[in-house]
Amino acid sequence: MAPKPVIIAGGGIGGLVTALTLEQIGVPSVVFEAVREMRPLGVGINLQPNAVRELGDLGFSEADLDRVGLPAQEWALVGLNGADIYSEPRGRGAGYNWPQYAVHRGLFHMMLYDRVVARLGAGAVKLGARVAGYANNPDGSVTAHVEHADGSTSQAEGALLIGADGIHSAVRAQMHPGQPPIHWGGALMWRGVTMAKPIRTGSSFVGLGTHRHRMVIYPISHPDPQTGLAMINWIAEITLDSSEGWKQTGWFRQAAIEDFIQHFDGWTYDWLDVPALLRGAEVAYENPMIDREPVSTWRDGAVALLGDAAHAMYPTGSNGASQAVIDARILGACMVAHGVTPAALAAYDEKLCGPVSQLILRNRGAGPFGLLNMVDERCGGTFDNIDDVIPAKERAEFMAGYKAAAGFAIESLNKAPRTIPEGARARAVEPA
């Protein structure tokens, strides 16, 4: 009798990388995704070197990633006066064995989806199908309750269930019925993409302003050889009073540039015209910066959480998508070690839940943008020489601490063995 598949709730980045990982180690899986059609939605995200390494082990080449983004060369924080607070090389320029990539989220997502269909078959992803709940069975297997777009329901039997169904996860809601509502700390973001000429190195991630009022700007495509223009991803952010919680009707909506451009009047420098950058976007999206309170465990019997369902976090560290990739690969390694069993989920939970929960809180405290907090506290954001405000050694130590917490410290990552040894397979264990 064929082994029961691993059921994956959610066909986002985490769910699709999980499906590819399971295929690599010989474990059958099926993905249930609520949307009826996969489309290249979203704007820019970063893939840290630890995630790029894992994608390489899954067979994605740098040429593949170049089709959906470009290698990041620099990460920089700049004060409102246009002067540098901190800058450092990224990817191979920083000494990693792998690049860091800035990619268009939607194009990257579609690349993953196409690869899943190519490797697992057209039936591997069930669209218009949402996992609404689950039941752990006495024999150690799991039953997923599935709601379909046509209004019908069905049951799916699996060896395990992986809840990769995002920040509004139904799997998490059942696992932790007493969880508090989504947490909003007061930051409101507008996101968009503008065709413009890249700044600084040509592939720089720039945080500009203060911790309560800032822009994040970076390219997510190679420049057009004819025009020199690239897709520039931008995030415009202000901090409001969050004491009454989020009062809008949704968490993500289309917005007019005129709704927020006034917050960035006068942000014009000899190297960047922020208002012009904002006005150049065809569309902008408004969403609050939100996360979930950490939970004590990501596992319930034959069920485990992964990606945003497990650890939705502020995007300040640019590692939410990267962590989802790492989750999937650690999960695969645990199945190689323990078989397709709840014991594998327990090992996965033990390895990741605690450290990543701490990362959620670290990002809530501004993550690497914490340097902007320090500048603001020490000089009100105005300075002539940043070394007089925060010495270079202190700035470097602050950033090193964040990289270590996020799992992409250079030396440890470069020396680490493959997460999943080449050719490794998981033993499918039938329920007793």
Residue-number span of the structural domain to which 147 is assigned: 6-50+104-181+293-366
What pLDDT, in 10s, does the model give residues 338-390? Answer: 999 999 999 999 999 999 888 777 766 666 777 887 888 888 777 889 999 99
Residue 115 lies in a domain: yes
At residue 135's C-alpha, the angle toward residues 329 and 16, to 5°, is 25
> Token digits for 52?
């790029």
Residue 318 lies in a domain: yes
Question: What whole-number distance in Å separates Cα of residue 401 and Cα of residue 28?
Answer: 39
Residue 108 lies in a domain: yes
User: According to the model, what pLDDT value does residue 318 have?
Assistant: 63
Distances (CA, A) of 273 to 191, 196, 199, 269, 418: 17, 11, 11, 6, 44
Are residues 337 and 344 in contact, defined by beta-carbon separation less than 8 angstroms? yes
Strand arrangement of the beta sheet that strand 142-148 belongs to: 129-136, 142-148, 153-158
Question: What CATH number corresponds to the domain at position 36?
Answer: 3.50.50.60
* Residue 208, helix vs strand vs coil: strand
DSSP symbol at 334: H
> Token digits for 110?
């579609």
Residue 342 lies in a domain: yes
Q: Long-range pairs for 381-385 at CB < 8 Å and ≥24 separation?
A: 381/79, 381/80, 381/210, 382/79, 382/80, 382/81, 383/79, 383/81, 383/83
Residue 398 lies in a domain: no
Question: What whole-number distance in Å separates Cα of residue 72 and Cα of residue 89?
Answer: 8
Residue 58 lies in a domain: no
Dihedral through CA 33, CA 34, CA 37, CA 41, nearest 10? -90
What pLDDT, in 10s, does the model give residues 172-206? Answer: 999 999 998 888 888 899 999 999 999 999 999 99
User: According to the model, what pLDDT value does residue 379 have?
Assistant: 84
Residue ranges of the chain whose pLDDT lies below 70: 1, 242-251, 316-318, 363-367, 405-408, 428-432
Distances (CA, A) of 395 to 62, 85, 213: 31, 9, 21
What domain count does the chain have? 1
DSSP symbol at 416: P
User: According to the model, what pLDDT value does residue 366 have?
Assistant: 60
Q: What is the pTM of this model?
A: 0.92
Are residues 33 and 46 in contact, defined by beta-carbon separation less than 8 angstroms? no
* Residue 406, helix vs strand vs coil: helix
Report the Cα 373 to chain-centroid distance in Å. Answer: 23
Residue 347 lies in a domain: yes
Residue 431 lies in a domain: no
